[in-house]
Amino acid sequence: MKKEYDFSKGERGKFYRPDAEFHLPIYLEADVSEFIQMLATEKNVDVNQFVNQWLRSNLTFIKTCIEVPQHAIK
């Protein structure tokens, strides 16, 4: 890396997109990942789809286990 960079000709907000979505990366430990992948394969669905369905179906249970601000859950 250079010690200094010249941003004098830079354009503020050039790559900013107000409608861009950020996808939260979640890193699972190997044993959990293998288990989730096995279940998704058995159900013949994508891992992302499986995890989202599982979490949605368990939101009520999750809410009772921890205090989650209501505005945080749609």
**HEC readout, 46-72:** CHHHHHHHHHHHCHHHHHHHCCCCHHH
Instruction: Determine the average pLDDT of the residues in 27-42.
Output: 96
What would the pLDDT profile of 2-26 be if each residue is shown by its tens digit? 999 999 999 999 999 999 998 889 9
Q: Taking 70 as the threshold, does the pLDDT of residue 69 lie above it?
A: no
Do 62 and 68 contact (CB within 8 A), yes or no? yes
Distance CA 53, CA 43 (A): 12
Amino acid identity of residue 56, one-letter, is: R
